[in-house]
């Protein structure tokens, strides 16, 4: 779901006739500039609406001046305007321009006329207090689960807050499509989130989560788009990553293991959703199915992770099965090749992949004693068929 709001023009006819001419597309630039500089003796509500209209429609210096002028309007004047406003575009514009003004943002998220997309966007980066404010409107959250998803992925949101929201979604049968990693946890017979919703916030976990979120944001900026890279570029990048991984501080990795081991199941699941890929690579090995399922389905998983997991024989069976059943992953040849050589891959998936495996790789697979007999035998049959019936 896009978090963008279409900012429609206001209905100019709702303004007094003497003000309508200031917003007319054919009005002199001088007249528009007077409005943009707040030089007219009008009400705050009229002022904000006219600034909005100029900002989205006038263009050029007039629009820039209107944006600047609105930024200078004192918060104590804007708040009552927001409370009365019923135009979703105006409210979205106000939220974008005054995102650092807590009283204004609180008024925006509390206004029923505010678009769900606006609230979701604010939820993605709000501080802990504002997250709590957004979380109080259960009616809006249930009609727009994307807001819950954004709060969940916001490291500033307190664990108790998101646990209560997830318990609400579980109780009401609300699906969080943007968080596939927690679907199984929500459907679990065990009350994973409700059991911790009332416990005191762990400051150590909260600090670690925010630290990890910052690192994760840097990772997202640095990792390339593999679909836009040539095969040789992909291979070079993966080699460099492997070399870098070998140089990782062993003590730092062990420290992460220790921190994760002290977390509750709910905390691990959230960490798997928004933590660094290092943390996800640890959690995908967790013996708890809810945790490793959340890790393999994390929105932060990237191709290099999947490629390595596909050949890992020590990962839980359900992790390998999920990768094998995900077409976004198996369209990559290296992932598919690793899967057919992994004895944990479900047999029906492996057999369907064999027709897409290159001849030389089929030959190697036919000699692989670690895969099921049916797989090696079928690989040998396909290899012989392609190589003209040779039995060598």
Give residue 36's pLDDT: 86
173 belongs to a structural domain: no
151 lies in some domain: no
In a domain, 283, yes or no: no
Tell me the pLDDT tens digit for each residue of 85-131.
999 999 999 999 999 999 999 999 999 999 999 999 999 999 999 99
- Confidence bin at 311 (pLDDT 50/70/90): very high
The residue that leads in pLDDT, 205 or 339, is 339
User: Considering the chain, what percentage of its residues have pLDDT values greater than 90?
Assistant: 56
Cα distance between residue 149 and residue 128, in whole Å: 15
Q: Is residue 244's pLDDT more than 80?
A: no
The last residue of a domain, from among 107, 123, 139: 123
Q: Does any domain span residue 73? A: yes
Q: What is the domain extent for residue 375?
A: 302-392
pTM for the full predicted model: 0.84
Give 10-40 pLDDT, tens digit per residue. Answer: 888 888 888 888 887 888 888 888 888 888 8
* 380 inside domain: yes
pLDDT at 185 over 70: yes
Token pair of 69 as six digits: 């002028």
* pLDDT(190) > 70: no
Place of tokens 């660094």: 276
- Asked if the model's pLDDT at residue 248 lies above 90, the reply is no
CA distance 43 to 54: 17
% of the chain at pLDDT higher than 70: 93
What is the DSSP track for 325-392?
T-HHHHTSHHHHHHHHT-TTS-HHHHHHHGGGS-HHHHHHHHT-TTS-HHHHHHHHHHHHHHTTS---
76 occurs within a structural domain: yes
Q: Is the CB of residue 279 less than 8 Å from the CB of residue 256?
A: yes
Binning pLDDT at 50, 70 and 90, where does residue 58 land? confident
Q: Are 79 and 53 in contact (CB under 8 A)?
A: no
Instruction: For residue 104, tell me if it sits in a domain.
Output: yes
- Average pLDDT of the chain is 88
Number of domains into which the chain is organized: 2
- Of 365, 308, 366, 311, which is closest to residue 338 (Cα–Cα)? 311
Pair 48, 81: CB distance under 8 Å: yes
Is residue 163 domain-resident?
no
Last residue of a domain, one of 123, 150, 180: 123
Tell which of 97, 123, 149 closes a domain: 123
Q: Under 8 Å CB-to-CB from 289, ≥6 apart: which residues?
A: 184, 316, 318
The answer to which of 59-68, 169-178, 221-230 has the lowest mean pLDDT is 221-230
């Amino acid at each position: 779901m896009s978090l963008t709001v279409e900012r429609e023009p206001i209905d100019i006819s709702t303004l007094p006739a003497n003000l309508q001419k200031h917003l007319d597309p054919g009005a002199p630039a001088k007249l528009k500039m007077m409005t943009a500089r707040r030089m007219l003796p009008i009400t705050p509500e009229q002022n904000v609406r006219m600034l909005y209209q100029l900002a989205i429609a006038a263009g050029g210096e007039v629009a820039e001046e209107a944006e600047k002028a609105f930024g200078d309007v004192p918060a104590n004047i804007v708040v009552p305007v927001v409370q009365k406003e019923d135009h979703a575009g105006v409210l979205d514009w106000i939220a974008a321009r005054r995102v650092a003004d807590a009283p204004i943002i609180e008024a925006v998220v509390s206004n029923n006329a505010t678009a769900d997309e606006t609230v979701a966007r604010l939820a993605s980066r709000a501080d802990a207090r504002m997250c709590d404010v957004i979380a109080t409107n259960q009616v809006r959250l249930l009609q727009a689960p994307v807001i819950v998803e954004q709060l969940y992925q916001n490291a500033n949101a307190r664990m108790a807050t998101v646990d209560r929201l997830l318990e609400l979604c579980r109780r009401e049968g609300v699906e969080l499509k943007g968080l596939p990693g927690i679907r199984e946890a929500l459907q679990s017979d065990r009350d994973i989130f409700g059991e911790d919703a009332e416990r005191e916030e762990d400051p150590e976990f909260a600090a670690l989560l925010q630290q990890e979120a910052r690192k994760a944001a840097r990772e997202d900026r640095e990792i390339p788009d593999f679909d836009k890279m040539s095969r040789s570029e992909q291979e070079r990048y993966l080699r460099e990553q492997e070399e870098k991984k070998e140089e990782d501080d062993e003590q730092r990795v062990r420290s992460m293991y220790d921190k994760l081991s002290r977390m509750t199941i709910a905390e691990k699941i959230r960490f798997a959703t928004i933590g660094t890929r290092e943390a996800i690579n640890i959690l995908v090995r967790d013996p708890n199915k809810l945790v490793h399922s959340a890790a393999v389905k994390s929105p932060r998983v990237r191709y290099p992770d999947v490629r390595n997991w596909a050949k890992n024989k020590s990962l839980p069976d359900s992790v390998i099965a999920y990768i094998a059943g995900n077409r976004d992953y198996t369209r990559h040849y290296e992932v598919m090749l690793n899967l057919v050589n992994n004895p944990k891959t479900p047999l029906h998936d492996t057999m369907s992949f064999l027709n897409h495996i290159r001849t030389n790789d089929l030959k190697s697979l036919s000699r692989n004693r670690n895969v099921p007999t049916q797989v090696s035998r079928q690989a040998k049959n396909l290899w012989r068929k392609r190589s003209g019936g040779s039995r060598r």
